[in-house]
Structure 1
Amino acid sequence: MPSKDPLIETLKVCILNLKSEGTVTDSNPHLPSCCELLELILRKGLQQPVLSLAHRDYWHCFEQLLQHDTCGRLSSISLAVQQSTACSKLITSQGRGRFFIRLMLRRRTLGSVVKHLLHTNRVIEWYCPNISILRNEELLEPFLSLSMVLSEMDFKINVENCSFLDESWLLPVCQIYEVVPCRELGIALRYLDGRVFVLDLLQGSQAQVDMFAEPGDIIDEINGISLRNASNGQAGVVLSKLKGQPLSIHFIRWRGEDGSIYQPLVKHLRQLKQEKPSLQFGPKPASQQDKTTAAQKKSQTQCVKDGRILYAVDLLGKANIGMYGGKEVLQHAIPVVLESKQTRKEVLLDVKETHLTCIDKSTKQELFQHHFPEISCVGRFGSQPDLTIFAFCVLDAPQADKPSGFCCVVLQAASCSECEEIVNRIAAGFKHTEWFV
């Protein structure tokens, strides 16, 4: 009767569960278990070097593949090893090994990597023949078969979200926030264990208005510059160098997908709470959840797309208003547009962090998109019942048959309160931006 190993048998069950889901993404609950089992198999029987203080891990086996690739046969594997080595978000051999495993799954090369590992004598000798699965002929065959099965599966996993692979196979929620050039973000930071935590949002700042971060979140990356293992003040140095440029900020959220605390952050959040006792890290209170739900359902004129509220409004028209785009022109420009009696269109207005977009409700075609630095003013029109009408002025696109200058875009919301909400959101967007010529 052939030998059986509990790791092989468990991996077989895990792969069956993965296959039942079709394409494998990071949200698949069986993915961390599969990766952990691969890690345990690659570690089993790995012997430590004699008379050396350095700890050997399976990542060092992959590194040796790069050194023994003398004829270029392992070009794809070599590139993966180099990418894992160069990743600035990883500081331990465990993290790099885990990153490499995820790369192999995504690129469907696990089977070929295992085969090359077996044929590299200098490396395979590091494994104990009495313990290792890789040096047991009866156990090696089923492991190779399972590796080939994994190589045929479709893994759509995010390799950029890797800053916690040093500590855990469980990945955090990682989100990107894009912001136009601004005077200041308004975030108070705290450096803990080489990570940049958000400690507080300054009152009236862009961060406080847009609520794109919470105390306890981590700034992981700014414009491609990693802040993993950052020293005190490094985030400020990066931001000062990028002053006047649009920012793309990668945040690691302290809340997991299910809303609970991301476990590897528990000790850090305790430290933050000791420094600022008013901080609360836990599930959202039921009352707060009810308010959020009520706000999203308060009007049938709103819909949700990618977590953002889209407003169903009417586009009444637009007109060129000359060379001045200050708020004073709205009281004259809006009547001009209304009197022109342009065709009314039902549209969806999407007010994002960096810009607003207008989409035709029936055809789903984008009618226009304006970044906040292009907007010179925004406001409502007249008195009741016209307080549902609002407008904003933007730089008009130059055309051969029309004079240049500003264009006034006029829209109508479903209610006065919704009109005020839209105007405030647009105003908050360009309030914090700067103009650059």
Structure 2
Amino acid sequence: MLVNFDKPEKQSLYHGHAQHLVEVQTVISDSYDHVTGFCECVEKIFQQGLVASVTFFKPPESWDWLELMADNKFGTPYNYQSSVIAVKKCSKLRTNRGRIRLLIRTCLVKRCLHIPVQTLLNSGECKGIYIKRSILGDEILSQILFSVLMSVSRLQFNLELENARFLDDTWVLPNTKRLELVPCKELGVTVLFVQGKALAHEILPNSVAAEDDHIEIGDILDELNGYCITNQVQGMLTNIMKKNAGLPVSVYIIKARWNDSIFPPLVPLLMEAGLDPVVLQAKFAQNDQYKAAIKNDMSQLTITYIGNTSTGSNGDVKQIRGAIDDMINGGGNQVDKLVSFECLDLGVKVCDASSKNVILKHSYMDISSCGCAVNIPYYFAYIAGNESFSLCENFTCYVFHCNIQKEIDSILQSIGQGFKRTQYVV
């Protein structure tokens, strides 16, 4: 959409982005190239040619009339009124410019972007809001704009409206991640509030947040268990966690990573928090290389379920060495089957590598101990009962062989972490 303001008689509205959107045959998401370009053009049209206020000494904003058009006296449909209400309630925004942008995105999702323009034209108030040499101030161009927006409103958009934290500053959207983490008493994240944003300043090792790099240093904690994280809840994060004790933790994260660099608008915040963006980016690259190496190792990974043997009424870690010796020497119940070993949120699952059938499944609450014999490499085991180990009188040791020592260490560490974080769950 382009406007030639130098020659009003030749003003034209170019359908570029809109035409590309109309040609899409599927649901349109944020990943589609022309979404941001179209939204940016709409914002520019709404902003250009506004009549300066003689009452208030501030630049005119299109938000004022966009909000006004949602007034019941204009009889606008509910989908537009609810869009304005939702934007006004969004505590992630600080400026009217950010609200304009979120409203445009919200109206695309609710298929009502044409409504405020239609209402403005029908009300006859354009002359008091826009100069004649603007699109909305011109009788013909405003009708063309309405027609374009009407066509776009027939499309189906699936945009991530929660991703609004940086709309005050830019149309460029950061990468985000919504996580459902296991019940835990604390995430293990130290946050520092910078310009109203909760920046992850430190991640505690072996915490829930640290697992699989769910949350990384420099990320922004945007929402926690349904609460929008702002300065107002700065001292309430622990209480928010306590309210959901025993339930999965819902977290919405704005990632510092952006393509192969750091999200540009985040750079000043990182520097204010004492985090060097260059060092942070180098750390991300190092972690990626480490993960790639692990992935390469995993392609060569084999885990064999050797079998199981009873340890009687004793399920402590001291029984593991004897149980491994017993299985190696042909004792117990021999199985010798290639398997996959998964450490899930609430327990472990062992499946047949070929048939994918579940062979073993134990919750962390049923596992009394795990470990390996130092002088017998590549073997590990865990001991579990048929009920919570504090009540169990009959324990069984399950013995495995793995050809990669790092994977053994990772599995044993995951079992230990899993037990710690679920021991209080009812």
TM-score bin (small chain): 0.7 to 0.9
Name the CA distance, whole Å, in 1 between partners of 2:77 and 2:361. Answer: 47
Name the CA distance, whole Å, in 2 between partners of 1:301 and 1:143. Answer: 59
Name the CA distance, whole Å, in 2 between partners of 1:98 and 1:218. Answer: 21
Shift of the 209–20 alpha-carbon distance from structure 1 to 2, 3 Å rule, reads closer
Q: Report the counterpart of residue 90 of structure 1 in structure 2.
A: 93
Shift of the 209–146 alpha-carbon distance from structure 1 to 2, 3 Å rule, reads closer
Name the CA distance, whole Å, in 1 between partners of 2:352 and 2:158. Answer: 32
**More moved, 346-355 vs 243-252:** 346-355
Q: Report the counterpart of residue 416 of structure 2 in structure 1.
A: 427
User: Shift of residue 107 of structure 1?
Assistant: 2.8
User: Shift of residue 222 of structure 1?
Assistant: 0.9
Q: TM-score, normalization: structure 2? A: 0.78
Alignment of 1:96-107 (within 5 A): 96-107=99-110
Q: Report the counterpart of residue 305 of structure 1 in structure 2.
A: none
Q: TM-score, normalization: structure 1? A: 0.77
Name the CA distance, whole Å, in 1 between partners of 2:10 and 2:304. Answer: 68
1:250 is paired with a residue whose SS is strand
User: Shift of residue 136 of structure 1?
Assistant: 2.0
Q: Report the counterpart of residue 390 of structure 1 in structure 2.
A: 381
Name the CA distance, whole Å, in 2 between partners of 1:58 and 1:369. Answer: 59
CA contact (8 A) 2:197 2:230 kept: yes
Q: Do residues 379 (structure 1) and 379 (structure 2) align?
A: no
Name the CA distance, whole Å, in 1 between partners of 2:88 and 2:143. Answer: 30
Shift of the 282–135 alpha-carbon distance from structure 1 to 2, 3 Å rule, reads same
Bigger radius of gyration: 2
Shift of the 239–285 alpha-carbon distance from structure 1 to 2, 3 Å rule, reads closer
Shift of the 150–418 alpha-carbon distance from structure 1 to 2, 3 Å rule, reads same
User: Shift of residue 81 of structure 1?
Assistant: 1.9
Shift of the 288–68 alpha-carbon distance from structure 1 to 2, 3 Å rule, reads closer
Name the CA distance, whole Å, in 2 between partners of 1:100 and 1:364. Answer: 48
Gaps of 5+ in 1: 303-311, 398-402
CA contact (8 A) 2:305 2:335 kept: no
Name the CA distance, whole Å, in 1 between partners of 2:409 and 2:153. Answer: 55
Name the CA distance, whole Å, in 1 between partners of 2:35 and 2:26. Answer: 12
Q: Report the counterpart of residue 272 of structure 1 in structure 2.
A: 273
Deviations 1:272-313, CA, capped at 9 Å, x for gaps: 23xx679823355866644432221124246xxxxxxxxx64
Q: Report the counterpart of residue 307 of structure 1 in structure 2.
A: none
**More moved, 25-34 vs 374-383:** 374-383
CA contact (8 A) 1:207 1:213 kept: yes
Q: Which residue identity lines up with residue 92 of structure 1 in the other structure? A: T
CA contact (8 A) 2:184 2:249 kept: no
Name the CA distance, whole Å, in 2 between partners of 1:424 and 1:272. Answer: 32
2:279 is paired with a residue whose SS is coil
Q: Which residue identity lines up with residue 37 of structure 2 in the other structure? A: S
| Number of corresponding residues | 413
Alignment of 1:12-411 (within 5 A): 12-18=15-21, 19=23, 22-53=26-57, 56-68=60-72, 74-121=77-124, 124-202=126-204, 205-208=207-210, 211-230=213-232, 232-239=234-241, 241-242=243-244, 245-256=247-258, 258-273=259-274, 280-283=279-282, 289-301=288-300, 313-314=303-304, 326-328=316-318, 330=320, 339-341=332-334, 344=337, 347-351=339-343, 361=353, 372=364, 375-380=367-372, 384=376, 387-391=378-382, 393=384, 396=387, 411=400
Name the CA distance, whole Å, in 2 between partners of 1:28 and 1:364. Answer: 37
Gaps of 5+ in 2: 1-6
Output the aligned Cα RMSD: 4.1
Shift of the 208–286 alpha-carbon distance from structure 1 to 2, 3 Å rule, reads closer
Name the CA distance, whole Å, in 2 between partners of 1:74 and 1:48. Answer: 29
User: Shift of residue 419 of structure 1?
Assistant: 2.5
Shift of the 366–103 alpha-carbon distance from structure 1 to 2, 3 Å rule, reads farther
1:190 is paired with a residue whose SS is strand
Name the CA distance, whole Å, in 2 between partners of 1:318 and 1:149. Answer: 66
Deviations 1:297-333, CA, capped at 9 Å, x for gaps: 124246xxxxxxxxx6455677998887544555677
Deviations 1:322-362, CA, capped at 9 Å, x for gaps: 88754455567776998434594x55444456665556655
